[in-house]
Amino acid sequence: MRSLDQKLKAGFIVAAALLSLIGLAFVHSAGSYWGQVHYADSSPFIVKQAIYMAVSIAAALFLMKGPWTSNQTFWTAFYYIAIIMLVAVMIPGIGVVRNGSQSWIALGPFSLQPAEFVKVALIGKLACSMKQSSGRRPFNVQHFVLILLPAVLIMLQPDLGSAVIMIVSAFVILFIAGYPLSFFAFLGLSGIGGIIALIAAAPYRLDRIKSYIDPWNDPLGTGFQGIQSLFAIAPGGLFGHGYGNSRQKFLYLPEPQNDFIFSIIAEETGFIGATFVLLLFVMLLVTAFGIAIRTKDYRSFLMTSGMASMITFQTFLNVGVVSGLLPVTGVTLPFISYGGSSLLTTWMAAGVILHFAFYQKRN
């Protein structure tokens, strides 16, 4: 049993470290030309990403080694701080608009995206609020409010991708905790009504769905990113064009160091390289859920499962978007995409998982 614990911990750390190093390499490759054009420098993205990684790993160690990671007061405070940040980002002069969404708080040359932090905060708060019980759990208004409040604030920005990831991760915790299937059926029907309302409120979302079905319907508009992503992936072949030899990064694929970085990986390293990255994610997620299963108590199990689910679903959503399997939405690839808030929260989730792997007795 002890040997299995060691293998799970080692596998998780190796996968997370390799994914982050791959991220550094391809942030540099994908963003070099974009940096030259917009900043007259090919290195701004890799320099910032290296700083982000150092801060992120420090935050992961903080959560991994500290007793506060198991403390309900810590997660309650973190949750409400994240809510305050979500409110602050909507205030003119504090929130910064990028790509049509007011989702960032500017801090000099850096910026914070509160929607990223609330994903981790909600998982911790929700897990701490659960009480173990036998049988199916009845509906609890408190849990619904904890999820609904940040979801509404995120949608006001608007940021559909972050809201969906947060809600799905929270529902995983509710499902594991014993909420009845009828509850999720009700939410599913409500969600369909919500999607219709969102499309009615912002018709551009319907255009995205049309472009998902047929991107060539608007190849220079809503279908542009999806088409350019496929133009990157398809010619990569088995082995790719070679590191640094992407063609789509030359302003064909907008901001390739961000949400569509997996397209550049597939273009430069081909099917072999892209598969290797996906296998690292599989390794990461299998070991994460293995750690969750072997945690010592109910709260630890819920929190670890929630963090692993967040990384799992975000990975699935990003890869699905860049490969054309899902409609385009702004979601980063965990550990790999450029961005301080995304990398920081991903490593924070990893730190929570490692906390229960290293410092909790196993079942």
Q: Which residues contact 92 (CB under 8 A, 6 or more apart)?
A: none
Q: For 7-11, 25-29, 64-68, 222-226, which range has the lowest pLDDT when averaged over its residues?
A: 222-226
Work out the pLDDT band at 359, boundaries 50, 70, 90. confident
DSSP 231-280: HHHGGGTTT-S-TT--STTTTTSSSTTTTTHHHHHHHHHHHHHHHHHHHH
What percent of the chain has pLDDT above 90? 52
pLDDT of residue 216: 77
Q: Cα–Cα distances in Å, from 253 out to 130, 227, 325, 326?
A: 44, 9, 18, 17
Instruction: Report the phi/psi class of residue 137: left, alpha or beta, with left for phi > 0 and alpha for psi in -120 to 50.
Output: beta
Computed over every residue of the chain, the mean pLDDT equals 87
Per-residue pLDDT band at 362 (split at 50, 70, 90): very low
DSSP character at residue 138: P
**Average pLDDT of span 101-105:** 86
Nearest CA to 299 out of 61, 124, 67 is that of: 124
DSSP SS3 for 101: strand
- Among residues of the chain, what percentage have pLDDT more than 70? 93
Maximum average pLDDT range among 147-161, 174-188, 208-222:
147-161
> What pLDDT does residue 199 have?
66
**Token pair 């385009």 in the structure block, residue:** 328
* Sheet strands side by side (includes 110-112): 95-98, 101-107, 110-112
pLDDT on residue 306? 95
DSSP state, residue 139: P
- Residue 13, pLDDT above cutoff 90: yes
Q: What is the pLDDT of residue 205?
A: 67
pLDDT digits (tens, 9 = 90+) for 276-331: 999 999 999 999 999 999 988 888 999 999 999 999 999 999 999 999 888 888 89
pTM: 0.91
When pLDDT is cut at 50, 70 and 90, the band that residue 363 belongs to is: very low
What does the buried/exposed string (b/e) look like for 275-311 if buried means 16 or more CB atoms within 10 Å of the residue's CB? eebeebbebbbebbbbbbebbeeebbbbbbbbbbbbb
Q: How far is CA 242 from the centre of its chain?
A: 27
pLDDT at 134 over 60: no
- The pLDDT assigned to 2 comes to 66
